[in-house]
């Protein structure tokens, strides 16, 4: 039966939350019922063990304490049944086992590293995540209230990561992928100047001056319509270098 194959203890397990819930042990898919998925996702979005009471209250906020705890016990059993235990019980607390690799946790590690080491060098934290992955929202088909703040946190991490990937891919000469990563950042937040700047730099790195200039004008139009402001001086400087774009073209 699909999804019931026994997973060997210690075997790496990958949990994907961007674009939808997916749990795999190498090529084997682990199928869980929705209640167990919600429990796994909540634990995956936290970097510390959570008490059973806290988890039950978050996942079943409208039920009595007794019913919420009963729902948690069922979800926990379903999450660990027929597979290597995905969730570890530590006294009255729960957490994911260390074998589980989570895409959103890699994003969080990137955020911590970029704050201290600089964005470009922190790209190495994005193990197993590509720009197409970063184009997807966090669990887009779920409507749980507890996901609202998490979605915004992850959205900001995705924006920073897409901009960093665009820069890193350009440095590696992968210009088409760099441009796609920067375009994904612009689509994710059209009013974000740093996303437009990343795309302009990617075009310049490719040697495509005309596209860089067109993107600047798109940026200016979007900012004027959405915020009633002009592009910042930092973006203007990107295109005002004589070596990049002739002054006669900029004047037009």
Tokens of 72: 């948690």
Predicted structure pTM score: 0.82
* Domain boundaries for CATH 1.25.40.10 within the chain: 107-251
Predicted local distance difference test score (pLDDT) of residue 249: 34
Task: Supply the pLDDT for residue 110.
Answer: 83
CATH number attached to the domain at 107-251: 1.25.40.10
- CB 124, CB 4: distance < 8 Å: no
CATH level 3 topology of 13-98: Arc Repressor Mutant, subunit A (1.10.10)
List per-residue pLDDT tens for the chain, 252 residues long: 344 445 455 568 999 999 999 999 888 899 999 999 999 999 999 989 999 999 999 999 998 999 999 999 999 999 998 667 899 999 999 999 988 999 999 898 887 776 555 555 556 667 678 788 899 999 999 999 999 999 999 999 999 999 988 998 999 899 999 999 999 999 999 999 999 999 999 999 999 999 999 999 999 999 999 999 999 999 999 988 634 443 333 333
pLDDT value for 127: 67
Can you give the pLDDT at residue 114?
A: 67
Number of residues assigned to the chain: 252
CATH 1.10.10.10 range(s) for the chain read 13-98
What pLDDT does residue 28 have? 87
Across 71-87, b (16+ Cβ under 10 Å) vs e yields bbeebbebbbeebbebb
Q: Which residues lie below 8 Å from residue 18, measured CB to CB, with a gap of 6+?
A: 103, 104, 129, 133, 134, 136, 137, 138, 154, 158
Within 10 angstroms of residue 16's Cβ, the number of other Cβ atoms is 20
């Amino acid at each position: 039966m699909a999804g019931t194959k026994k997973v060997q203890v210690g075997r790496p397990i990958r949990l994907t939350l961007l674009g939808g819930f997916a749990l795999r042990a190498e090529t084997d898919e682990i199928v869980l019922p929705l209640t167990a998925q919600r429990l796994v996702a909540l634990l995956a979005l936290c970097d510390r063990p959570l008490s059973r009471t806290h988890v039950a209250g978050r996942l079943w906020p409208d039920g009595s304490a007794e019913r919420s705890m009963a729902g948690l016990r069922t979800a926990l059993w379903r999450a660990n049944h027929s597979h290597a235990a995905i969730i570890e019980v530590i006294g009255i607390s729960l957490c994911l086992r260390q074998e589980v690799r989570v895409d959103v946790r890699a994003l969080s590690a990137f955020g911590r590293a970029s704050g201290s080491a600089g964005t470009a060098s922190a790209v190495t934290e994005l193990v197993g995540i590509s720009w197409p992955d970063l184009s997807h929202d966090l669990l887009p088909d779920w409507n749980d209230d507890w996901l609202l703040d998490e979605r915004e946190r992850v959205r900001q991490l995705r924006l920073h990561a897409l901009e960093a990937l665009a820069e890193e891919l350009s440095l590696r000469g992968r210009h088409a992928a760099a441009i796609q990563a920067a375009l994904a950042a612009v689509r994710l937040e059209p009013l974000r100047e740093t996303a437009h700047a990343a795309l302009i730099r990617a075009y310049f790195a490719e040697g495509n001056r005309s596209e860089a200039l067109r993107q600047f004008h798109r940026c200016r139009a979007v900012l004027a319509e959405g915020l009633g402001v002009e592009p910042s001086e930092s973006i203007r400087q990107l295109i005002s270098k004589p070596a990049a774009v002739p002054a006669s073209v900029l004047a037009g």
